[in-house]
Structure 1
Amino acid sequence: MTPHVAIAKWTLEDYHQMIAAGILSDRRVELLNGEIIELPPEGEPHAYYTSTVGNYLRTLLGNRAQISEGHPITIPATQSEPEPDIAVVQPLGREYLRHHPYPENVFWLIEFSNTSLKKDSDPKARAYAAAGIPDYWIVNLQTMELIIMRDPADGCYRSQNTLTEGTIAPIAFPDISISVRRLLD
């Protein structure tokens, strides 16, 4: 008979206490659905796209949104504090000294997946959908495709489209036209 293995789940409070105590200071991690997940080292393509697309979005959005690159968002409902590659959030200024952006502060999220597509398209997508984040985009760096996930309900996105060209407007900013090629080139 195989013994039952219990997985310890961490709360946001536990996670923040570990950070404050310096326990995680030498590790790149994020909290996802109560589990501490080690992040892979950031390769050159990942860093390039995050920076380039972040700058492109800043130009398009101006002061209408804040572009956060690789910083946490807090999802209390799922005990998660992931670090999306790009979070387009409300520009709340000093409010973010007290907390990371919550789901209601997030316009949309973008992940650049080179080796992390499985994690980005499953547990992360479920956490984002459960939080009601309306727009979640994954740039698959292996196939150079943009995966658009929308219409969150019951912990999943009911709409998913894959693009390689054309333009896309984020739900929060329907007047903004984003070039798919600019995200992929």
Structure 2
Amino acid sequence: MEALAKWSIKNYHQMIEAGILQDRQVELLAGEIIEMSPEGAPHYMLGENTANYLKELLQNQAYVRFDGPITLANSEPEPDIAVVHLPRETYLQRHPYPEDVLLIIEISYSTLETDLGKKKTIYANNQIQEYWVIDMKQKNLIIFREPDQGDYIVRKEIKQGNVTLLAFPEITVSVNRLINA
């Protein structure tokens, strides 16, 4: 049986710096360099609108990153949205690490299997406390909380109403605004 070569974060960054991955839409997931699905206009607009909405809600409380990488143990995914600790200047020399991340949001149209499978496992293994998936086809929000041994103990699916963030329980987020942004 052939063995698949796994890449480290260091190897991945060296390839980026050398220009090997230039003009390629890829991310490092569990040591594998994976081609990212192209984003359609509705996906991009939903992501940008969601990021802007969260920026309004979380002003001066957190940094909302849109389509930017985060550095995990053996992965460097590029979630659609990452809500991370301030100050923003922390990320001038590096991407956010797991301890910086307050919330990850993936927007899913054609990537639901990956978002609910490989990415969920990666985020849970890295102790990301809260992970949301916006399912564009079903028009719902899937919330994962309490990471434990590569999975999440809590899973909720919501189509309407409001939700709060674990890190900011005083802030109310409109589910309708997220799934219809």
**If the TM-score is normalised by the length of the shorter chain, which range does it land in?**
over 0.9
2:147 to 140, 148, 152: 152
SS, match of residue 178 in structure 1: strand
Structure 1 match to 2:110: 115
Instruction: Give the Cα–Cα distance (whole angstroms) in 2 for the partners of residues 70 and 25 of structure 1.
Output: 17
Give the alignment of 1:121-140 within 5 angstroms: 121-140=116-135
Instruction: Give the Cα–Cα distance (whole angstroms) in 2 for the partners of residues 71 and 133 of structure 1.
Output: 16
Kindly provide the amino acid, as one letter, of the partner of residue 156 in structure 2.
N
Matched residue count: 180
Percent of aligned pairs with the same amino acid? 47
Instruction: Give the Cα–Cα distance (whole angstroms) in 2 for the partners of residues 94 and 148 of structure 1.
Output: 29
Instruction: Give the Cα–Cα distance (whole angstroms) in 2 for the partners of residues 179 and 118 of structure 1.
Output: 25
1:12 to 9, 12, 16: 9
Query: What root-mean-square deviation, in Å, do the aligned CA atoms of Structure 1 and Structure 2 show?
Result: 0.7
Structure 2 match to 1:172: 167
Instruction: Give the Cα–Cα distance (whole angstroms) in 1 for the partners of residues 87 and 78 of structure 2.
Output: 18
**Structure 1 alignment gaps of length 5 or more:** none
> Structure 1 runs of 4+ off > 6 angstroms?
none
Structure 2 match to 1:143: 138
Structure 2 match to 1:53: 50
Tell me by how many angstroms 1:95 deviates: 1.9
Kindly provide the amino acid, as one letter, of the partner of residue 171 in structure 1.
L
Instruction: Give the Cα–Cα distance (whole angstroms) in 2 for the partners of residues 25 and 91 of structure 1.
Output: 30
Instruction: Give the Cα–Cα distance (whole angstroms) in 1 for the partners of residues 20 and 126 of structure 2.
Output: 28
Kindly provide the amino acid, as one letter, of the partner of residue 78 in structure 2.
E
Tell me by how many angstroms 1:111 deviates: 0.4
Tell me by how many angstroms 1:92 deviates: 2.4
Corresponding position: 1:95 with 2:90: yes
1:56-100 Cα distance to aligned partner (Å, 9 max, x none): 001111010011001000002xx1000000000012222212210
2:28 to 28, 31, 35: 31
**Structure 2 alignment gaps of length 5 or more:** none
Kindly provide the amino acid, as one letter, of the partner of residue 112 in structure 2.
L
Instruction: Give the Cα–Cα distance (whole angstroms) in 2 for the partners of residues 151 and 35 of structure 1.
Output: 26
Relative to the length of structure 2, the TM-score reads 0.98
Relative to the length of structure 1, the TM-score reads 0.96
Instruction: Give the Cα–Cα distance (whole angstroms) in 2 for the partners of residues 139 and 101 of structure 1.
Output: 22
